[in-house]
Chain A
Amino acid sequence: MAEGLTVEVRGLTKRFADREVLSRLDLRIGTGEFVALLGRSGSGKSTLLRVLAGLDADVDGQVGVHGTVSVAFQQPRLLPWRTVWRNVVLGLRGRGRDRALAGQALAEVRLADHADAWPRTLSGGEAQRVSLARALVREPDLLLLDEPFGALDALTRLAMHSLVVDLWETHRPSVLLVTHDVDEALLLADRVLILDGGAIVAEHELANARPRRLADHLDVRARVLTDLGVTDHAPA
């Protein structure tokens, strides 16, 4: 795999029965790069993420992922019979399953005082933050986010956006954020990819400065929406 890359995918094809969900897809994600993947539902976004996560190995083509991978799903998927801090260290081996370490990770997502709580007692946003802590405590080289804010209310989602940017700036993993929220992609990512018909059909670079204002990126927004087939869009 080329130097400076965390993900290098070439000619990836995935079939379900006779349907080709991904067809000869190429994808490169640089070390520490934040990439957002947009696409209509059924465009194969989640399938691509599952392949990169190693959850689906039955594919054709080359899939190269360098280093540790962590995933945060749309649902937090915490084990309800483990307390919050034990959920956080679930992905660590042996002596790494340490309470102090969990405490640090929870402090980063501002949940330090919930270490001993049961997952059932958390709100949706809190549970999603625990899920983020669980993904990040592994110090992943690649962080896969599968619409992790999709199930949250609008206010919580805004708070989560800035939290994710903070965490990304601290840990600097490569990130692939799968989403169908165009504005979310524009606010967070270095590069926005459009997936359609199983292949990446367009990509847009964004100026790296953060925090961002959507108003500064209306030109990209218009082009992204056109790529997605939305023609009569109003300005943000």
Chain B
Amino acid sequence: MSTVELLERVAAPPATTRNKRRLPDLRRWLSPIALVALWQVASATGILPPDKLSSPWTVLRAGVDTARSGELGDAFAVSITRVGIGFVCGAAVALVLGIVAGLSDWGNVLIDPPVQMLRTLPFLGLIPLFILWFGIGEQPKIVLVALGVAFPLYLNVHSGIRNVDDQLVEATTALGFTRWERLWHVVLPSAVPQTLVGLRQSLGIAWLALIVGETVNADAGLGYLINNAREFLRTDVIVVGLVVYAVLGLVTDALVRLIERRALRWRRG
């Protein structure tokens, strides 16, 4: 790079990076589109038999069909309800435990050790137990999601609160803050960034837990749609189900990022 270029780069500040962010680099679409085209060609020429994997076009048509018949919408509603309830339950437990263990020494001594031990259990491996305990209805799936959500959120809330800057706490004490005011104005806000990291992790795991739970046994929901399609060798419907899962994961991730952007404005300045 020449000196002039370097100087121009230094002199031309954030405006350029911002423009770049607004105009996505279209070249990045080239290879994904090529891959889909290749897949279509492979299907059309019979290299890829439909009982192994349907062509993109068939998948698209299956998506439209299942959506029109209401099958997809129903499955979608069932699945998202499971994740919703499981997430709310798991997050509530994690927040309460994390805050108590983060704030009080006794809470930390009593709550943290068992949580740390349980966290090492592979929670997806608990499915057989859950089926024995809760049967094969909605409960085991919701509990599985709640469990998957609770651990990462707890760990992050807990460490977020424990790592509060003592200097800030002291400064507000000198300003006459009560215990509750310190909690509200200093301790909890300082735990927000770490909590949002935990939120993102736990939402990712929530979808994973749901998919596993639904695939093992279900009589409704996206997992059921996929399993049912397998019985009839409908690889097109299977792919539709997978794509919906993927889109849901992306949407929730984008949602958390939106929350982050709003809640952490002070970080970017």
Question: What residues of chain A have their CB less than 8 Å away from a CB belonging to chain B?
Answer: 53-55, 69-71, 73, 75, 77, 79-83, 90-91, 117-121, 134, 138
Contact = CB atoms under 8 A, between A and B. Distances in A.
Given A70-B174, A77-B167, A120-B269, 15 more contacts: A55-B174, A71-B171, A71-B174, A73-B171, A75-B167, A79-B168, A79-B172, A79-B186, A81-B189, A81-B266, A82-B266, A90-B172, A91-B176, A118-B265, A119-B266
B170 interface: yes
B266 A69 contact: no
A91 B175 contact: yes
Nearest to B264: A81
Interface residues of B, number: 18
B269 A53 contact: no
A145 to B, nearest CB: 12
Interface of B: 167-168, 170-176, 185-186, 189-190, 192, 265-267, 269
Contacts of A90: 172, 175, 185
B189 A73 contact: no
Most-contacted residue by chain B among A53, A81, A82, A117 (CB, 10 A): A81
A143 B23 CA distance: 53
Contact of B267 (A69, A82, A91, A120): A120
A71 B168 CA distance: 12
Nearest 8 interchain pairs by C-beta: A91-B175, A77-B171, A121-B269, A120-B269, A71-B174, A118-B266, A81-B266, A118-B269
B194 to A, nearest CB: 13
A73 B269 contact: no
A222 B176 CA distance: 40
A55 B167 contact: no
Contacts of B189: 79, 81
A128 B172 CA distance: 16
A79 B185 contact: yes
Contacts of A53: 174
B210 to A, nearest CB: 34
Contacts of B266: 80-83, 118-120
B265 A69 contact: no
Nearest to B265: A118
A53 B173 CA distance: 9
A4 B170 CA distance: 29
Most-contacted residue by chain B among A69, A80, A83, A134 (CB, 10 A): A80
27 contacts: A70-B174, A70-B175, A71-B171, A71-B174, A73-B167, A73-B171, A75-B167, A77-B167, A77-B168, A77-B170, A79-B168, A79-B172, A79-B185, A79-B189, A80-B267, A82-B266, A90-B172, A90-B175, A90-B185, A91-B175, A118-B265, A118-B266, A118-B269, A120-B266, A120-B267, A120-B269, A121-B269
